[in-house]
Amino acid sequence: MSDALPQVPANEPILRVEDLKVHFPVTKGIIIQRQVATVKAVDGVSFTIRRGETLGLVGESGSGKSTTGLAVLRMLTPTAGRIVFEGQDIAHHDGAELLEVRRRMQMVYQDPYGSLNPRMTIRTIVGEPLAVHGLDADRKATRDKIAELIASVGLLPDMADRYPHEFSGGQRQRIGIARALALEPSLLIADEPVSALDVSIQAQVINLFMDLQERLGLTYLFIAHDLAVVRHISTRIAVMYLGRLVEIADRDELYQNPLHPYTEALMAAVPVADPEVEAKRPRTVISGEVPSALRPPPGCAFHTRCPRVMARCKTEQPQLREVAPGRAVSCHLHSN
C-alpha cells in the first residue's frame, strides 16, 4: 500500500526504550509559581518491542503506564533517556522530524466518548490524519482510503456520514482505531482501549486488534490494568510500579512463574472467572495501597507492601536485571 517505508526486518526491535525518565515539576503559588517537589512519573524504564509483537504494559493507577506511552509517542518530552524508534533516537525530535515520526506511530485512547470531536462526521474524523499530513490531495483516493479504513474495523460504509453521538462505545472505539490506522503506522500505542467497554463489546474490540495485527503486521504497545485482557492479547508483558519496571517476561512465563513479589501479588489479586478454580487458588492478599508518587519509599519502592521484604530492600534500590533471555526482574531476591 505505501511507498518507501523504513524497513525493519521481522523480529528486529522496532522500539527500544532506554532508561526513560519523565519527571513533572509540582508547583505552588498562583502568581509566582515555585517548584516545591518533583513527581517521578517514569523513572528509569527500559524495554524493547520487536516488530509484530504486542508488549502489554500493566500496573496499578499512577504507576506511569500512560506517561510512558505519551513519552514514546513524544506527546511529552522525556527528562532523560533514549527512545529508539525504527533505528532513530526520537527523544528530542521536534517540528518536521516529529511529524514524520507520528506517521509511523499512532495512539488509540481509552475514552471512546471524549476522544472524538462531536461536530465532525466519521469520515472527517477518520480522514483527519491524512489531512494533517497533507496526504488528502487526491479526493477520490482519499474517499476510497477512508471507506477501506471504515470497512477494516467492521463498520458499515453508510456510517461514514454520521456523527459520533450516534454510535455506541464499541463502535466509537472502532472509529478511533480506524483513525489511528489511516497513516499506516507500524506501531500502535493503545492506552486502556477496552476498559470503558462492556464485556461482550470488549471481546469484539480485542478480536479486532488481533485480526488487524495479523493482517497488517502491526506492533502494539498495549497499556491496560486488566491482567486477563493483557494476558490474552500480549506476547510479552512488562509490569510497572511507581514509575519503574519491576518485571518483564513472556506472557505465559509471567503468569505461571512470576519472579517479582509484586507481580505475584497482582496475579493473586485478580480473580479467575471460574468458581471451581477460585475455590482452589491460594490467596495471598497484600496489604496497603500504592504510596504517593510524590514520596516514593526509599530503596525498593515496593518494600512497604512486600511480603518478602529484607533489610537491604529499605535502603538499596534494586536494578532491573536480565535473568534469562527476554526476562528481567528488579528485586533483591533475584540479584545474585
Partner 1 sequence: MTSPLLEVKGLTTRFRTERGTVTAVDDVSFHVDPGETLAIVGESGSGKSVTALSVLRLIPNPPGQIERGEILFDGEDLLKLDDPGIREVRGNKIAMIFQEPMSSLNPALTVGLQVAEPINVHRGTAWTKAYEAATELIGRVRIADAASRLNSYPHQYSGGMRQRVMIAMALACAPRLIIADEPTTALDVTVQAQILDLLKELTRETGSSLILITHDLGVVARYADRVAVMYGGRIVEVAPARELYARPKHPYTSGLMASVPRLDGGGRRRLMPIEGQPPDLASLPAGCSFGPRCRAILDQCRAARPELVQVGDRHSKACFADV
Ligand X SMILES: Nc1ncnc2c1ncn2[C@@H]1O[C@H](COP(=O)(O)OP(=O)(O)OP(=O)(O)O)[C@@H](O)[C@H]1O
The residues binding partner 1 (CB under 8 A) are 60-61, 168, 170-171, 198-204, 206-207, 210, 225, 227-229, 231-233, 251-252, 255, 265-278, 283, 285-287, 289-290
Asked if 23 interacts with ligand X (CB under 6 A), we say no
* Closest distance of CB 239 from ligand SF4, Å: 11
In this structure, are residues 24 and 41 in contact, taking their beta carbons and an 8 Å threshold? yes
Q: Which does 198 bind (CB under 5 to 8 A by kind): ligand SF4, partner 1, ligand X, none?
A: partner 1
300 binds ligand SF4 per the rule CB under 6 A: yes
**Residues shown for the chain:** 336
Site residues (CB under 6 A) for ligand X, limited to 281-320: 293
- Nearest CA among 78, 83, 82, 162 for reference residue 116: 162
Q: What is the smallest separation between the CB atom of 58 and ligand SF4, expressed in angstroms?
A: 16
313 binds, among ligand SF4, ligand X, partner 1, none (CB under 5 to 8 A by kind): ligand SF4
Residue 220-249 contact track with ligand X, rule CB under 6 A, x = bound: -----x------------------------
Judged by the rule CB under 5 A, the positions of this chain that interact with Mg ion are 66
DSSP secondary structure code for residue 311 in this structure: G
Beta-bridge partner residues of 35? 27
- Rounded to 5°, angle at Cα 49 from 43 and 54: 110
Residue 128 neighbours by CB under 8 Å, 6+ apart: 120, 179, 182
Strands (E) across the chain are located at 13-28, 34-50, 54-58, 80-85, 88-89, 105-108, 187-191, 219-223, 236-241, 244-250, 321-324, 327-329
Stretch touching ligand SF4 by CB under 6 A, among 14-22, 31-39, 51-59, 306-314: 306-314
Please list the alpha-helical segments (H only) found in 223-293: 227-233, 251-256, 261-269, 275-280
Q: Is 197 in the site for ligand SF4 (CB under 6 A)?
A: no
Q: Which residues bind ligand SF4 (CB under 6 A)?
A: 260-261, 300, 302-303, 306, 308-310, 313, 318, 331-333
